Amino acid sequence: LVYINNMLRVEDKARVRKGEHMIGYVSALAVLGICSYEDIKNRSVHTGLLLLFTIEGILLWVFAEKHPVVEIVQAILPGLSVLLAAFITKGSIGEGDGVILLIIGLLLGGAFALRIFMYALFFCACYAIFLLIIRKKNRKYEIAFVPFMLLAYIGEVALQNL
């Protein structure tokens, strides 16, 4: 897995150096920034905004490069998995989180979206443990997840450019 992850990072670095996907990187930052603010403030994400970025991601896939169907399925698989988990848990996991992850997959690829999701889970878990230790919140407290995806995104982009 480490070897595969390193290969994916090398491929991502090459794409950034060639200038490919810059629209995707800027769009992902925009959607994560705006949705982080909304998630913290309202505990929900505006559906119209998500639809707009989803359409942009689909258009980038269609017009930017020729992609095999398997690659498109891999790109949206992390987001679809979170959406399935949201459906199974009857809303304990936010559907907006799954849609945002789906958008990141469309914009930057499935491997990138999966890394963002895993890092965000780690950061969110650390924050939840911190809140439990200081006894400020109980385990029923709902934590906004999108800001952790933003933090993970910034960290991943910074690591790619080292």
- What separation, in Å, do the N-terminal and C-terminal C-alpha atoms of the chain show? 21
User: pLDDT tens track of the chain, all 162 residues?
Assistant: 454 455 455 445 444 444 557 888 999 999 999 999 999 998 888 888 899 999 988 888 777 666 677 888 888 999 999 999 999 988 778 889 999 999 999 999 889 999 999 999 999 999 988 888 887 777 777 889 999 999 999 999 998 876
pTM of the model: 0.83
| Alpha helices (H) in the chain, listed in sequence order | 2-17, 22-42, 47-64, 69-88, 95-108, 110-133, 146-160
